[in-house]
Chain A
Amino acid sequence: MASKKRERLEVIKDILNTIRQNREIKPTRLLYASNLSPQMFKEYINELIAKGFIKLEISDNEKKTFSLTKKGSDFLQEYKVIESFIENFGL
């Protein structure tokens, strides 16, 4: 179970990193880069939007793109510390 949780945090980190590297990214490109099933991808994206880590922007011509919020950027910076804390305290 512990590794499953770590994987989940890692997936979140990977998605956020991909968005940060691209600044803005289309949903289909992010889906391919995330290496997740469409169903799982949707769940993660909904969670990240709900947490305020990423935002979905829709342009005038209906194009959708994801970008990183300040909270998402903060999370990436703190990710290693949080991961270390979780493991060192057996959480």
Chain B
Amino acid sequence: MDLYSVVTENKWLLEALYTLIITSICMIIVLKTDRFFKLSLHNGIRYFRNAFLFFGIGFLVRYILGLFSDFSITNADIIKVIFEYFMIMAGFFLFYSLVWKKFASKNEYSSMFNSKITLFNIMAIVLALLDEVWNTYNFMFFSQIIIFSYTSVISLINYLKKSEKFKFLKFYFIGMLLVFAAWILNFLAASFFHWHPLILINIGIINVIFFFLFLYGVIKVTQK
């Protein structure tokens, strides 16, 4: 029995395990960074923490969406909108954690309801609703491909500037490339390959590597 058969025959078990691994990693990162944010009140840490909170919730909702779709339960549409909203916002938060200094105003007391994040919220809701209306995922895919192409470039610049002193910048850049590749593969799988399971397995592997990479980074950098 090959790997492909094992995966397809144990789809639900593996989906549950996949969701458990990613949401657990996200929650560990959120808890670790939340402590640092509360001590420093540094906005970059705050948006980074929010990104992983939204990734965690997004993957959990994705699992629920999968259950709804596979068992033909009605009202899956609203779950799809919620899933897309959290995934798009996670991308926006991660992007904004890298560039917030360029746009920050002095009175940004809330990380959820300040003017920039409100704009991101509106964009995320509109994109998720557009996908729902057009019965596609393309608005989410394109927004994330654009966002992660930007974050890849920013993290490459950070890496080239300071890689000697700060070792994780290299892995951060690799992480951004992985997510960028995962979103492109998602788009290709949906548009040209009818969600071929083999491509989805590869996307899953890339995602797991990305989240483990960031978990490693957070633990390594924050250990005393």
Question: CB within 8 Å of B: which residues of A?
Answer: 1-2, 4-5, 9, 51, 71, 74-75, 78, 81-82, 84-91
> B158 to chain A: which residues have CB within 8 Å?
90
From known contacts A2-B101, A81-B222, infer whether A87 and B39 are also in contact, taking CB-CB under 8 Å: no
Contact of B166 (CB < 8 Å), options: A5, A71, A82, A84: A84
> B36 to chain A: which residues have CB within 8 Å?
78, 81-82, 85
Interchain CA distance A83-B40 in the complex, whole Å: 10
**Interface size range on B against A:** 20 to 34
Q: Does B11 contact A (CB under 8 A)?
A: no
Task: Determine chain A's interface SS by DSSP, over half rule.
Answer: helix
Q: Is the CB of B39 within 8 A of A88?
A: no
- Chain B residue nearest to A47 (CB atoms) is B41
> B45 to chain A: which residues have CB within 8 Å?
82, 85-86, 91
From known contacts A1-B101, A1-B102, A91-B97, infer whether A86 and B42 are also in contact, taking CB-CB under 8 Å: yes
From known contacts A5-B101, A82-B36, infer whether A89 and B172 are also in contact, taking CB-CB under 8 Å: yes
Q: Is the CB of A89 within 8 A of B168?
A: yes
Smallest Cβ distance from B42 to chain A, in angstroms? 6
